[in-house]
Amino acid sequence: MPKTTTLLIINGPNLNLLGTREPSTYGTATLADVEAVAADAAGRHGWAVTCVQSNHEGELVDAIHGAAGTADGIVINAGAYTHTSIAIRDALTAVGLPLVEVHITNVHRREEFRHHSYLSAVAEAVIVGAGISGYRFAVDHLIEKLAGGPSVTTSHEGR
């Protein structure tokens, strides 16, 4: 039987608290809702998702390593590690899978320390401020790109 095409959906520290605290910043949807959005989006293309959430940097690195040979692409919201973790960036670079970076909030409207991401330079796309719909956009984009679908190539990418 052919291997099901799979995306690894990674959520980092504190995202397990979604829907339980700070609803004015992060909304009322839970982590389970986020994972369902990603699974539904992938399922519409006949793809599967594997979902991982961890509050520990090393566990996130291990999950990224585990994607080699088991997943075809990665959607990652690394939470606050986005702004600090060279280790997560190095792991993403090492596995070499296409990835989309997602942030629920518009990090550019928030504190200065959230404006820099160590991950964006190794991502195919970065989606910020779209709430949990950002995960759907990320899954659709990644699958369209991997399956050779209707993603539009920008002139920047062509340079």
Minimum CB separation from ligand CA2 for residue 149, in Å? Answer: 26
**Spatial contact of 128 and 158, defined as CB atoms under 8 Å apart:** no
Q: How far is the CB of 150 from ligand CA2 (least distance, A)?
A: 27
Residues identified as active-site:
26, 103
Alpha-carbon span 93 to 122, nearest angstrom: 7
Residues that bind ligand CA2 (CB under 6 A): 14-15, 17-18, 21-22, 26, 77, 79-80, 82, 103-105, 107, 114
Whole-number minimum distance, CB 4 to ligand CA2, in Å? 28
b/e burial code for range 16-42 (CB count within 10 A of at least 16 → b):
bebbeeeeeebbebbbeebbbbbbebb
Q: Which is nearer to ligand CA2, 68 or 113 (CB)?
A: 113
* CB closer to ligand CA2 out of 128 and 146: 128
Collapsed DSSP state (helix, strand, coil) of residue 52? strand
